[in-house]
Structure 1
């Protein structure tokens, strides 16, 4: 009986010791969590104070400006500055746009150019007041359809995102979008959504892999500036002549062999550039009088509008000559 009592006493002692150790360990964990929480709160305060030093007021807007500092991620405490109207964060190595971006309902301009951003979060579509989204010189491969929720967007710049090659059709609903820069990407065709944009005035698709243009390109009725340099275009659609608002057309460094004769009727076209194309005809502009040359040479583009008109006239003359030759031979 005495042995049983001793055994029970030993078990009780071991149990009490174990419970004490467990309680002590739990208390230590709680203390560690409190310590980490205090450190985290302190770090957030320091970070927030640092961010507040980056705030500036420009043209009546509250701007967060960070340049050439290392900020690969943006801290959660930034949400306390949700009154900011413009982000200007450049050359920081930023890798990700935080999902809490949707909390910045006052945001008008989001400029994260020249970073390492790889994706645009779907939450960005909740920024209904956003006017400018500038993400050139990043690593974006995909644009979410949710971006169409930014129905106040006027300017979209996605230049130099090497692997970007398509846009979602839903972006065609952005009724205020006027300026789009998709240069130096990997587009092989003009995104269909661009043709549906009713307010589009300025488009840069230079430095892509475009092999052709859509036949209904004239649907971009408001477009006045179109940059298509350094692509692989071999011909132009006839309907390009129906783009009544177009006044600037850059086609240098493509594979064009002909200029559509109907372009002669594009009276609103002020500037055009056909430089560095393998055009079939060799046309040289006539020299001008010295006085006129001194006065106007700076405005004269050797492969510009005057060249285009002369090329079309020369092509027409040669076509007539061929027809006359056939008539004589008959």
Structure 2
């Protein structure tokens, strides 16, 4: 505050008041002043009625320096009609510890956009956080930022609390609670006494009303027990445990409604085993104490919280769950792997992804039951050799870490069949490294820094899936992978690709610079091949040996012609050839199973004459952006129509002469003939396309709209704009 005192504190009604005690300036970065406000809420609105809770003196003080501002600190009683609000005057350099000192509280919490509430570190600067938030939203002028930050309605997006707000969701394991008359045992010798009774998780907890939090609690497990009605006393239930020599508690309720509510909930607890607890995204810093009364918990989800490492009820207390098998601690910013987790002998699945871990301790060797370990999204550079002791480990996630090579410990992990190293820093890969890992079947090295994959003369028969998408490879030779079934190498800089086709089933190599693709041994099992967005000038010869090929994508290449056998592949159902330089298409004489054909953006003037006669299953045809002057028809004697449902013919040179050819496609749902040379579209022809749902005739020379368009009951989209010509069409027909 530049050494200036902001003046006396102004009370809620504008009266002057004494300034709060402040420590010596040597121990504080700036003076902090607190204005207390109790503002009534406006109906159901979350924002305060007044946009700014500051008086004229405070506003004048703010205007002297744009680095000054105010932070609104709210109380946590959300049920009260009065909102407890403290306005803290400070600067962008004021730390949270200084505000805590002036507020007289131990902690300060922040909530962004109604999401999780987290505790601020003492060195964090609240006003700087607000100013940065506004800057990220697009505000640039410092005076405007100061003005927006002074409005209390900003708290709808950025709110500070002097205590952690309570959430009913965090107490979802507490089903019911209340103060009732309780008798321990069933005989008249036991007296009735007023007690706090809580139905929590799978237990009934009975404690003293006065010391319910600190006194002795009697815990009765209900799983497998029974609930009985006490007939001698109205609205009374007896809670019995299945454990031997466990006491029985009789609880007398005040009304029939409460009696029914407890009976209904307790019966569910008795009959069901509540073994799974989800406390994700709850802003937890500690494990709720009531959870430890539920020893039957086997699955615990604590994802996206702020659990403390060294707190008594933090991560260290998880070893108290004696039956825990599945634990999710992802996104908790732990920093270090909690050693106490290694003591949970029952754990079979552990997720500690996105926690900023830099190393894995050797003590993980004690987790002998572990089958799944997720370490994704951390900062690991190595793995300890002790990890090899986990012989039951079958799934290990290491994606998005800082590993620069394949960890040697993988040779010992005989049950792990998939190497997940996506998003790491691997620059070079030698396939020889996998020769000693016979258990590995799948390799995932997406989004690394790979510039080379070094092949080997020795065959490696265990690898069936290989994924090197989004790297920097210029050549890839995988002939040594004799049983490779699926390859992903999209978005590299590949010019050459060499594979073994013995077991090959799918190849995805789009968005490279391929001019040469070699496959040794006939790919007789190949089902899907994607070579789109490359530099191929011809179709590789070995494709003709792929007798089971069902989908082929050769779009966005440099193809000028196609071999006759390509369209005639016996199993081919999907063929994409768009964005090439094709001038004609071959047409086989025998029937083919083709269902989808895309030849858009080529140089075609004609489609094969008998295309619809040999491709009887064709349902999708896109021939837009060519130079088509004609359309194929059916052979005589085949007037039953085709199965074609989608036909795109936009931007060609078709005239009215070929409109009658459309009526053979009686199953058409979508027809686009925009930007052709049409002058008329006979109403009688359109009337036969009764299944049409979408029709586009824009950019033609039509002078009128077919009158039968209103008869198309399924039509929901009809476009017939003039395409920029002076003459425009008026569409007056109604579409049913």
Q: TM-score, normalised by structure 2?
A: 0.31
2:285 aligned with 1:72: yes
Is this contact kept in 1: 2:273–2:296, CA < 8 A? no
Alignment match, 2:301: 88
The 3-state SS of whatever aligns with 1:110 is strand
169, 177, 184: which one aligns with 2:400: 184
Give the structure 1 partner of residue 214 of structure 2: 41
Alignment of 1:229-244 (within 5 A): 229-239=446-456, 242-244=459-461
97-106 or 163-172, larger mean C-alpha shift: 97-106
Aligned equivalents of 1:244, 1:95: Cα separation in 2: 47
Please point out which of 73, 79, 98 is paired with 2:315. Answer: 98
For 1:117 and 1:292, the matched residues in 2 are separated by: 57
More off after superposition, 277-286 vs 193-202: 277-286
Partner in structure 1 of residue 445 of structure 2: 228
* Equivalent residues of 1:244, 1:266 under 8 A apart: yes
2:481 aligned residue? 266
**Matching residue of 1:295:** 573
Render the CA deviation track for 1:186-212: whole Å, top value 9, x for unaligned: 111222212221111122101111123
Counterpart Cα distance in 2 of 1:227 and 1:247: 11
2:276 is aligned, of 20, 39, 63, to 63
| Alpha-carbon distance change, 241 to 249 in structure 1, aligned in 2, over 3 angstroms | farther
Change beyond 3 A, Cα 1:92–1:241: farther
Once the two structures are TM-superposed, the CA of residue 106 in structure 1 deviates from its matched residue by 1.5
| Cα deviation code 1:62-115 (max 9, x no counterpart) | 112112212022245644334311111222333436223233332111112233
RMSD (Å), alpha carbons: 3.5
| Structure-2 separation of matches of 1:98 and 1:194 | 28
Bigger CA radius of gyration: 2
The whole-number CA distance in structure 2 between the counterparts of 1:241 and 1:79 is 56
**Structure 2 SS opposite 1:220:** coil
Query: Structure 1 pair 39/60, CA: closer, same or farther in 2 (3 Å)?
Result: closer
Once the two structures are overlaid, the 10-residue window that deviates more, 222-231 or 205-214, is 205-214
Residue 127 of structure 1: how far off its partner (Å):
2.2
SS class of match (1:236)? strand
Is the 8 Å Cα contact of residues 64 and 84 (structure 1) preserved in structure 2? yes
**Equivalences for 1:129-168 in 2 at 5 Å?**
129-161=346-378, 163-168=379-384
Pair 1:99–1:67, CA change in 2 (3 A): closer
2:433 to 202, 207, 216: 216
* CA displacement at 1:265 relative to structure 2: 4.9
Length, aligned pairs only? 250
Which one has the bigger helix percentage? 1
Structure 1 partner of 2:416: 200
Q: Deviations over 1:146-200 (max 9, x none)?
A: 1111112111111112x22222111012111111111111111222212221111
Query: What secondary structure is seen at the aligned counterpart in 2 of 1:272?
Result: strand
Looking at structure 2, the residues matched to 176 and 249 of structure 1 have their Cα atoms a distance apart, in angstroms, of 24
Check whether the contact 1:120–1:140 (CA below 8 A) recurs between aligned residues.
yes
> What is the CA–CA distance in structure 2 between the aligned matches of 1:238 and 1:126, rounded to whole Å?
43
Offset from partner CA, 1:115-152 (integer Å, 9 cap, x none): 32322222222223211111222222222111111112
CA distance in 2, matches of 1:168, 1:206: 20
Decide which of 477, 489, 493 is 1:278's aligned counterpart: 493
Summarize the Cα distance change of 1:289–1:115 in structure 2 as closer, same or farther, 3 Å threshold. Answer: farther
TM-score norm. by structure 1 comes to 0.65
Tell me which residue corresponds to 1:247.
Answer: 464
- Residues of 1 paired with 2:295 and 2:457: CA distance? 45
Q: Distance in 2 between matches of 1:258 and 1:101?
A: 49
Question: Which residue of 2 is the match for residue 256 of structure 1?
Answer: 473
Unaligned runs of 5+ in 1: 1-36, 46-55, 299-330
Cα distance 1:239–1:85, how it changes in 2: closer, same or farther (>3 A)? farther
Which is worse superposed, 223-232 or 237-246?
237-246
* Distance in 1 separating the partners of 2:214 and 2:572: 69
